[in-house]
Amino acid sequence: MWLPSYATPAERLMRVLVVAFAAAILLFLIAPIFIIVPLSFSQDPFFTLPVREYSLRWYEDLFGNPRWLDAMLNSALAAVLTTILATTLGTLAALGIARPDFPARRVVMALLISPMIVPVVIVAVGSYLFFGQFGLTNTRAGLVLAHTALATPFVVITVTATLSTYDTNLTRAAHSLGASGASAFFRVTLPMILPGVISGAIFAFATSFDEVVVALFLTAAEQRTLPVQMFSGIRDQINPTIMAAATMLLALSVCLFAALALLTRKRG
């Protein structure tokens, strides 16, 4: 909060109080998240604070246990496939909605973003019943399709926001110079909206990689993802390896957030 040099003592005091209050709220929100980091380096086989002895014991178990490695691989593979599908479908949907002559734009937009509004457990039950009719439960394909339904709205929103500032005259100019529809899209439109597309892809990846409720309904032991493995570890036995996995997820989230901030800055 910036104040001019001639600000009164009362205004300066108010600034200090506002900054301190904001810092206290931020600490209240962030501290429970980052408390898992020191716990992941604890030597004890149970959760204790303060940490009495530090060790890499649980990280060795995380990267040396086949169950955890398979879970991380399943999460990464499902997230990558979901990102590809959601980014493609979401970008195409946003391009269609952005057209001025698109009918019932608001209704279609509401339907597209409905998976963000509906409680995820309802999506999970509905996906389980629907995909069960096609034999897609307990398969990676069913998980990817369900995650695509959850992730596509994020792509639609980010790409639509980017298209709102896109000058359609550029596409018309490309067509007037003899470019086909596909050529105009890949050479003109896509480079201009690429930051929004990448931002949507980042959201899609994070949505799939961190999702647990739908994965609980649609995966078998062979397709168990990292969040499901963590949930099972908490339910069956308290294993501090969960803290190491949670720290890895936290680091991934921070990296994705940093990439998103850079893209937002570039787009601005």
Question: What CATH number is given to the structural domain containing 91?
Answer: 1.10.3720.10
Our count of domains for the chain comes to 1
pLDDT at 192 exceeding the cut of 60: yes
Cα distance between residue 81 and residue 251, in whole Å: 21
Q: What range defines the domain where residue 133 resides?
A: 65-236
Asked if pLDDT for residue 235 goes beyond 80, the answer is no
In a domain, residue 129? The reply is yes
The overall pTM is greater than 0.75? yes
Within a domain: 54: no
Please state, for a pLDDT cut of 90, what percent of the chain lies above it. Answer: 19
In a domain, 78, yes or no: yes
215 domain-assigned: yes
Q: Which range, 3-12, 81-90, 175-184, 190-199, is most confident?
A: 81-90
Q: With H, G, I as helix, E, B as strand and everything else as coil, classify residue 29.
A: helix
CA 22 distance to own-chain centroid: 26
- Tell me how far the alpha carbon of residue 190 is from its chain's centroid: 22
Residue 128 lies in a domain: yes
On whether residue 204 sits in a domain, the answer given is: yes
**159, 220, 207: which is closest to 185 by C-alpha?**
159
Using one digit for the tens of pLDDT, what is the confidence trace for 2-57? 555 556 777 778 888 888 899 889 888 887 788 888 888 887 777 777 778 888 88
Q: What's residue 1's pLDDT?
A: 47
Q: Is 43 a domain residue? A: no
Residue 102 within any structural domain of the chain: yes
Q: Are 216 and 231 in contact (CB under 8 A)?
A: yes
Contact 240, 40 (CB under 8 A): yes
